[in-house]
Structure 1
Amino acid sequence: MSAPAPEVEQSALPVSDSQTYRRAFKDLREGLSQRELWLSLGWQDIKQRYRRSVLGPFWITIATGIQASAIGLLYSVLLDQPLREQLPHVTVGLIVWGLIQASIIEGSEVFIANEGLIKQLPSALSVHVYRLVWRQILFFAHNLLIYVIVFFAFSIWRDVHWTIIFAIPAFVLLVLNAMWVSIVFGIFATRYRDIAPILNSMTLMLFVLTPVMWSTKALENQGGQVADRARIVEIVPTFHFLEIVRAPLLGEDQHAYHWYIVGAFTVVGWIVAIFALKKYRARVPYWV
């Protein structure tokens, strides 16, 4: 009579880590270590967009500068605000909004747009997120040239003090939020293709509600019910992200609660992003 076959120990069975937090963090680390790849790809994206153009990426700066000048002049007249205050307000608002908008719209398509690379290139999924954010940082840097011109043309340097350094951690927070937004929206928009057009419409609505072109200060100066209604903008999340960058760059008073709200969004957003990477990272190549 043959002896019974030995039982296979449970610990000897292979265990997949494709849906573990360890694998999610590993993906982020591996993507960061492949910085030569996404730094190069991000720069190539800009060069490809402005191929055969004489001014190249500086068309970004020119287009933003013209838009800021036109909107600043118009709203200066409509709101009866000094051009010296309104134009810098609009300029910095458009520069920062460009990064916020790209994080939402392009972030929702980050994996769909890189379908070929995801299926053929053995790299971390986060590489495509880093590439997108790096590209937007380059756009932001080009547009900062407009701020420098406005800074001296309208003598903003007289109002700015040492608190301008808070614009640096504020920008870091914007980048961190751009990353988790791209991860979360990118994953779910890849699975559900209706999310991308919904986000496009939502971003347009947020642009109207966020004081990019107009100023809450102008409404508050009118007093009465108009001043009270201006506080409604506090419920718009993008207002707080915009304010932590714009206030120090223009030498305006800063309020701590803007930082608290942005900090809370950053923490909660990254928790959701890590969970999304843990749960759905391995499925993205099949969804694209």
Structure 2
Amino acid sequence: MRDIREGAAARQLWGHLGWQDIKQRYRRSVIGPLWITLSMGVTAAGLGLLYSQLFGIEVQTFLPYLTVGFIVWGFILGCLTEGSDTFVANEGLIKHVPAPLTVYALRTVWRQTLMLAHNMLVYLVVLALFFGPLSTPGYLLSPHGAPQPGLSWSVLLAIPAFALLAVNGGWVTLLFGIISTRYRDIPQVINALTQLLFYATPIVWPVDILTTKLGPGDWKHLILELNPLYHFVQILRAPLIGSTQSWHHWAVVGGFTVVGWTLALLAMRNYRARISYWV
């Protein structure tokens, strides 16, 4: 706990390191970090136009759904993949700088937060273009799907939703970072599983399509509900596009927060002193 407190207090250090990561990645580039925004915008526009035609969905409601899904997924994916390498990537600093290990985890989460902030520019553009359809009560995400309430003041729920995602990003980075430092095959396993979970998570396809094809009470819905990333994506995406928000998504994410931080604290207590030797 002392390591976590001191790491959180050193916000100037991890804040500067995280910002330098973004600047270094796009050094000598003409538009710099705006390449993050541009690549997200091109990906969302291309896949949104393609999948809206494949699924027979109105592009003015599906494109915001897909765009926000990609933005949230990018943050989650970054915390998983880059978080598992966080201590290995900071080997030089760990061996020569007497800083709390939590600094390097917060550096990773802060870097992903900055990238999400750049990608939110794409969301603002999409929102400006399709504000009318999204703010219409009863709009549909797919043909014969459930009517959605539309954008309202519930959009403010996105603030605590992102805070909860960032808190989970902290334990993910600490826990998987410690495990991956000892077992270097873990990042490869995480990369393979995230590719599978991407297609199993409703990002490029709406949940309504599954409900329409299988029926609302089909047992196959358990496959979706047992995917934890679906709940993490939904708590932030739903308020941003005026979609139906269910309390059970918050309950699942809250449960993962408690269990995840418990495991991360146990790992820190037992293995924190060994990380400098493992790297």
Find 1:136's aligned residue among 95, 105, 112: 112
Identity of aligned residues (%): 50
Q: Which residue of 2 aligns with 1:191?
A: 182
Q: Does 1:59 align with 2:50?
A: no
Q: Which residue of 1 aligns with 2:173?
A: 182
Judged with a 3 Å threshold, the aligned counterparts in structure 2 of structure 1 residues 227 and 239 are, in CA distance, closer, same or farther, namely same
Q: Does 1:110 align with 2:86?
A: yes
Contact 1:81–1:218 at 8 Å: present in 2 too?
no
Q: Which residue of 2 aligns with 1:213?
A: 204
The Cα shift of 1:219 comes to 2.9
Judged with a 3 Å threshold, the aligned counterparts in structure 2 of structure 1 residues 66 and 271 are, in CA distance, closer, same or farther, namely same
What is the root-mean-square deviation of aligned Cα atoms in Å? 1.5
1:239 alignment partner AA: Y
Q: Secondary structure at the match of 1:183?
A: helix
The Cα shift of 1:253 comes to 1.1
Contact 1:216–1:230 at 8 Å: present in 2 too?
no
The Cα shift of 1:140 comes to 0.5
2:97 alignment partner AA: L
CA distance in 1 between partners of 2:61 and 2:175 (Å) = 37
Contact 1:108–1:185 at 8 Å: present in 2 too?
yes
Judged with a 3 Å threshold, the aligned counterparts in structure 2 of structure 1 residues 256 and 72 are, in CA distance, closer, same or farther, namely same
The Cα shift of 1:154 comes to 0.9
The Cα shift of 1:124 comes to 0.4
1:283 alignment partner AA: R
Q: Does 1:251 align with 2:251?
A: no
1:111-126 equivalent positions in 2, closer than 5 A: 111-126=87-102
The Cα shift of 1:74 comes to 1.1
The Cα shift of 1:162 comes to 1.1
Contact 1:151–1:157 at 8 Å: present in 2 too?
no
Find 1:266's aligned residue among 257, 263, 268: 257
Question: What is the total number of aligned residue pairs between the two structures?
Answer: 264
Q: Secondary structure at the match of 1:149?
A: helix
The Cα shift of 1:224 comes to 4.2
2:13 alignment partner AA: L
The Cα shift of 1:218 comes to 2.6
CA distance in 2 between partners of 1:81 and 1:222 (Å) = 15
Q: Which residue of 2 aligns with 1:45?
A: 21
Question: Which consecutive residues of structure 2, in runs of 5 or more, have no partner in the other structure?
Answer: 137-149
1:250 alignment partner AA: I
Find 2:160's aligned residue among 161, 169, 183: 169
Contact 1:107–1:132 at 8 Å: present in 2 too?
yes
Deviations 1:85-141 (A, max 9, x none): 211111000000001001110010000000000000110000000111111100000
In our comparison, the structure showing a higher alpha carbon Rg is 1
Q: Does 1:93 align with 2:69?
A: yes
Question: Which consecutive residues of structure 1, in runs of 5 or more, have no partner in the other structure?
Answer: 1-24
TM normalised by structure 2 equals 0.91
CA distance in 2 between partners of 1:201 and 1:172 (Å) = 27
